[in-house]
Amino acid sequence: MIYAQKEDFFIMCGITGFTGKVPALPILLKGLESLEYRGYDSAGVTLVTEDALFTQKRKGRLADLESSMDVPSFMQTTGIGHTRWATHGVPSQLNSHPHTNEKETISIVHNGIIENYQSIKEKLIALGYVFQSDTDSEVIVHLLDHYYQGDMMEAIQKTVQQLNGSYAICVVTTDHPDEVYVAKDSSPMVIGHSENGSYCASDIPAILEYTKDVVILEDGQMAKLTPNGVAVFDFAGNALETKVTHIPYDMNAAQKGGYTTFMEKEIYEQPVAIKETMRGIIDHGQIHLPQLDAVDMQKIQYVHFVACGTAYHACLYAQALVQKWLGRIVTCVAASEFRYGNYPVNENTLCVFVTQSGETADTLAALKMSKEKGAQCIAVTNVLGSSISRYADQTLYTSAGPEIAVASTKAFTTQLVLLTLMVFDLAKKEGREIADGDAILKDLQRMPEIVKEMLEKAPLMDQYAHFLDNQYDAYFIGRQMDYVGVVEGALKLKEISYVHADAYLAGELKHGSIALIEKDTVVVALATEPSVAAKTISNIEETVARGANVILITTQQQDAPGFKNVIRIPDIHPVLATIPVTVLLQLFAYYAAVHKGRDVDKPRNLAKSVTVE
């Protein structure tokens, strides 16, 4: 078994760029096509001559963009392209990339998030700049216009000094029609060269057909591409030596970043996804979620969390937090059941709807009913511009990026993070003191590193997954917030390995379910909740006595004498332990499925987005 490299590799949009001796448009379009697997909502290109920029963009699929152009007729040899996954501004023609300045002499594409774009935008408007979109990216082209005095590299240096956040930027200008400029910080960018010209892209697949020797730019670096080669500089303008990386794998492997499957890749993207979800929300120990300012908690008597599948498990977690921090009557209800149960929904109710896609039919139907009854409605989703964001009063977005594998991984852990911040902020806005509040926020900010530690345990989880080689059943047990971990862990195992798995409250095991335990039965037990960990371990010992093969996940401090297979998570506040535990159980399910030869990315009978009731 070859284990994945632990790299930060996270892209929400696609970028391509080319300058050379052959027409640029087919190269740009083919590169964007190779990045389609990541998901997007619009596409666009800019082609350059010394006389003019030609920009074409379309909301929707890349095929819509291509069909709007007579591709063979465009002979320009320099250009940039983009597929957008919306983060600021709904999917639309105006919000699509590329963005150009008013004189249409500079064009840019951008991946990432500019956290301080609003303040920059206000300053630029005061200087007379007019904005055409709702995106954060448009501030970049106007800053470049403001600073440009004939030297684009100098203008880029001055521009990036103003930007806070994450970005990979690609720039062209009519003043230098055979050059492409790039800069990056916290968002990927690769460059390469062949006999036909120079290439840049946000991911290796876009240029792999033309060269397998690439330069992977580091944070704080920029580059100038010409038909004859590439040159790399730091943000101070100092020339740098480049390290060329040879890519030994084919296009299919490249789309997966060298990982075996999309699910494996998305598991390993979680540290960066969690970091991106928190970006701009936690600052100097304070939470900034202005979307929640409109929620009047003084009048709220009931709180309902509504979702399906894995998102429902995220809601179970949020329900426990509300019980701890808000002191309201709170329920967690499967969306398919919500409309048919007699739940109190009125103007004194807060309803929170969680869905990765924002298009889940049952969840949308529940939201519409709640709106009709006067409830305050918040959506938590991963897709800006999705249906649920249009119906909800307020929407909070995870920044997991497109999730290709059917089984949810990074979408779930980012939901846990964002729901924690949401409930925490609502409690603080109401003036409630949260026990260990400062410690919880500090541990949340440490979460990307903690998740990385869990990913390093992949070989151990691979080893434990072999326990299931000749088994058809598995049982997951835990108590309190550990129960969230066991229901999600059991679901992951079921949906990708097809091993029957049940999740039980540990204290309920002796009330009938223990009859299922026999020699070599696999039991996964969680004991991270201090108040009940010792009791959970007592329940586990009952399964050991009956010959079970037990895997125990617990804390650094918890005594676990006599257990052979023990995994200890790093020191972390107990309310957050579900997140690192989840990562371990994702790996366990993944390797179990691999050993059984399953199609991990496309498990049978399942779909990524369930848009029928």
Nearest-angstrom CA–CA distance, 169 and 174: 17
Rounded to an integer, what is the distance from CA 501 to the centroid of its chain? Answer: 27
- The catalytic position among 429, 452, 602, 608 is 608
For every residue of 349-365, DSSP letters joined together read EEEEEEESSS--HHHHH
* Contacts with 344 (C-beta within 8 Å, 6 or more apart), sequence order: 301, 302
Identify whether the C-beta of residue 48 lies closer than 8 Å to the C-beta of residue 104. Answer: no
DSSP-H helix ranges across 433-478: 437-455, 458-465
Nearest-angstrom CA–CA distance, 111 and 131: 19
Nearest-angstrom CA–CA distance, 145 and 101: 7
371 catalytically annotated: no
- The catalytic position among 13, 308, 315, 351 is 13
Residue 575 DSSP symbol: G
Identify whether the C-beta of residue 166 lies closer than 8 Å to the C-beta of residue 276. Answer: yes
Find where tokens 């027409």 sit: 23
Find where tokens 């990927």 sit: 188
Q: Tell me which H or E stretch contains 79.
A: strand 78-84
Residue 75 DSSP symbol: -
Q: Tell me which H or E stretch contains 376.
A: strand 376-381
Strand 473-478 and strand 522-527: the pairing is: parallel
Nearest-angstrom CA–CA distance, 176 and 155: 13
Q: How many CB atoms lie within 10 A of CB 304?
A: 25
351 catalytically annotated: no
Helix (H, G, I), strand (E, B) or coil at 225: strand
Name the residue among 220, 256, 266 with its Cα closest to residue 240: 220
Structure tokens at 334: 């499967």
Nearest-angstrom CA–CA distance, 590 and 267: 9
Catalytic residue annotation: 13, 608
